[in-house]
Amino acid sequence: MRLLPSLTSATADEPDAIRMAGRALTRAHLFDAAHAVAARITGAEAVAVHAAPGLETVVAVVAGLLAAVPVVPVPPDCGPAERDHVLRDSRSALLLAADADLWPDCGLEVVPVDAAARAPGHVSFPEPSPDSPALILYTSGTTGAPKGVPITARAIAADLDALADAWQWTAEDTLVHGLPLFHVHGLVLGVLGALRTGSRLVHTGRPNPAGYAAAASNESAPGTLYFGVPTVWARTCAEPAAARALASARLLVSGSAALPAPVFAELEALTGHRAVERYGMTETLITLSTRADDAGRQPGTVGRAVTGVTTRLVAEDGSPVAHDGKTVGELQVRGSTVFSGYLGRPDATTASFTHDDWFRTGDMAVIGADNIHRIVGRASTDLIKSGGYRIGAGEVENALLAHPAVREAAVIGVSDDDLGQRVAAFVVADGVTESDLIDFVARSLSAHKRPRAVTFVEGLPRNAMGKVRKDLLRR
């Protein structure tokens, strides 16, 4: 299975097919530069890529795909200990980077990547196996060293085709985003998705409202499809002029974390768009999504399983959970997008799959009779067992965010001698008291779901994708 389609005369020479932070490449020039790098890395067991937001990262990733060499994206802000673990664990033989001087002590030969380079004559490469790793992405778990997740070209192609169907994503689109290029969201969907569908790609360098708005007003190729994480959409709503510029877009997609209901509503009020929310993991790629043709999208829901994926909910004892839109269970998935196991970690692989080969996501969800999914939160951090009740942290967070004084909210369960766990909230808010917020939640949700304590903070700790670091709050 070929992940990247062949160039055609219709697509090869578009002058701004790939635009990143003001620099542009045609598809023909992209593939020419990638062939030059691929000729240098052919035969390597794996290659690491300094995944800065630039054209060189795209060239390096495409080079790995052409040469059938697994690509290991390394975050540009990666600390030495994590970097050394990733390079060693992935058995990367080379490191591809735009600037070799940034990696003086990495222990690997650094291959410079030049987006303006051209391949020296015709170069042929082995046909890649669709079931060999195309990428090795590293998870950012809260405990232990990151685990390598090999992702095949077959899985990537299946997922991108399923999303192209769900989002009506075609070569006529211009995709706009500014997400990091070392995660599924920014790299697989945000770069390989554009290359596979043939759509233009505009990467804004950073996901800022001004950049998104500027792309919408580009006369030659205005943005039609936008990717963002909840933090991006919240910041966009905070700049109404920038948000209103997105009214001309076709679709706004949110992922990597739950989009708070108030942000969903404000985004609709400013842009006229009800955001498409989707769900996935590094290990499974994107498995659930609402669709472009579903005008009744609701905040907090992530739609149905995409083509090629099936899901189920199970209770703690492994029994099936009813699809009644209320009962919480662990979400398990299987299908064409799911990986086969962690790199060199058979113990972790065994623990992550059931005896009948369903992947345990570790996320808690409810499914309605219409098969619409709603993610409640992580079993390890977001399922709170209090006084015999099972409470999803996300539901309480949305209730807090509905208060006009609350800008951010995170909820965790903390140990309690009487209740087992009690609901504790951390909020960024002005002009409101702890008792005000507790009473506010109790009026909108069942009384047992109200926070027992509210801590006011200046900001919530987040990772690169905007997810709240609840492990830090717990400390």
Q: What is the pLDDT of residues 39-74, one digit of tens each?
A: 999 999 999 999 999 999 999 999 999 999 999 999
What pLDDT, on the 0 to 100 scale, is given for residue 416? 78
CB-based contact 96:111 (threshold 8 Å): yes
Domain 381-474 class? alpha beta
Q: Which two tokens stand for residue 470?
A: 């609840």
In this model, does residue 10 exceed pLDDT 60? Answer: no
* Separation between Cα atoms, residue 406 and residue 430, nearest integer Å: 7
pLDDT tens column, 62-108: 999 999 999 999 988 777 878 888 999 999 999 999 987 777 777 88
- Ranges for all domains in the chain classified under CATH 3.30.300.30: 381-474
Q: Write out the DSSP string of 127-156.
A: PPPTTSEEEEEE---SSSSPPEEEEEHHHH
Mean pLDDT of 241-251: 96
Percent of the chain whose pLDDT exceeds 70: 94
pLDDT tens column, 314-342: 998 889 999 998 888 999 999 999 999 99
CB-based contact 359:283 (threshold 8 Å): yes
- Ranges for all domains in the chain classified under CATH 3.40.50.980: 23-128
pLDDT tens column, 400-458: 988 999 998 999 888 877 777 889 999 999 999 999 999 998 887 777 788 999 999 99
Average pLDDT, the chain: 89
What pLDDT, on the 0 to 100 scale, is given for residue 34? 94
Domain 23-128 class? alpha beta
Mean pLDDT of 203-232: 91
Q: Which two tokens stand for residue 102?
A: 């940034």
* Separation between Cα atoms, residue 285 and residue 307, nearest integer Å: 13
Name the residue with tokens 């579903």.
294
pTM of the model: 0.83
* Separation between Cα atoms, residue 177 and residue 232, nearest integer Å: 10
Q: What is the CA radius of gyration of the chain?
A: 22
Closest CA to 290 of 280, 304, 300: 304
